Structure 1
């Protein structure tokens, strides 16, 4: 299970860097993102050495949060191995509290969400965890 998370996290690093939210930005600005919620759907087993493609789609953002989904596809087989849906919080590291995005970052995120609006949405998005109470 942990290896799926490592692969998703590596894909997240690429996405965040492309949005100006990479590790260097965190060092320079004193702010970063923390995961507030994560849900992973394991759909098909991967094996050591399998090549994968992680795709990220931004779903929504507001003044302090970013909602996104990632799919992990087997590179040669084309099938989806796992889907993760997450909510990130923007955190001021100096005071360790959730804080609004800087204006330029908020604009980049809003544009990226709009750009991603036409991308496929995995059917797992929005599902809750639990047992039916029938």
Structure 2
């Protein structure tokens, strides 16, 4: 498998229905944009809609952390990156950046995803072919620096 490092999504546009009463992109729709990029990366890994339909295997999000950096507005065009940071036999850890087509950072997303047997549903091992694709993508992404914004936590920092 030949993999871009990182994977870059198609260009997406902020839609009218996604704008909230503050006049900017509602927080929920940042996740829609991240998810659309993830779908593109998952297809590269062999885990698209056909994978779920034919093999009864899919992915579930276990944990997600979004940082909102700069507002997006109606009609803004963006793309999203997907970097595979780590994986094991049943899960993977990815980092994404949502950027305006002019290059500025709008948001980041860090996610832990589980591989799931839909007949359980239960967390399950990746099949050998998917694991090989995961290894190939991870190897391609190892040349990338660790994202500065990865590994953040939520909390109030107190002065001691």
Gaps of 5+ in 2: 1-26
Deviations 1:38-59 (A, max 9, x none): 0001000110110001111100
Query: What is the TM-score with the length of structure 1 in the denominator?
Result: 0.95
- Which has the larger Rg? 2
Provide the residue aligned with 1:108 in structure 2: 133
Alignment of 1:22 with 2:48, yes or no, is yes
What is the alpha-carbon distance in structure 1 between the residues aligned to residue 155 and residue 55 of structure 2? Answer: 39
Provide the residue aligned with 1:9 in structure 2: 35
Provide the residue aligned with 1:63 in structure 2: 89
Gaps of 5+ in 1: none
2:156 to 124, 131, 134: 131
Q: How many residues align?
A: 133
Query: What is the TM-score with the length of structure 2 in the denominator?
Result: 0.80
Q: In the TM superposition, what is the alpha-carbon distance from 1:90 to its structure 2 partner? A: 0.3
* RMSD value, Cα: 1.1
What is the alpha-carbon distance in structure 1 between the residues aligned to residue 145 and residue 69 of structure 2? Answer: 17
What is the alpha-carbon distance in structure 1 between the residues aligned to residue 28 and residue 34 of structure 2? Answer: 10
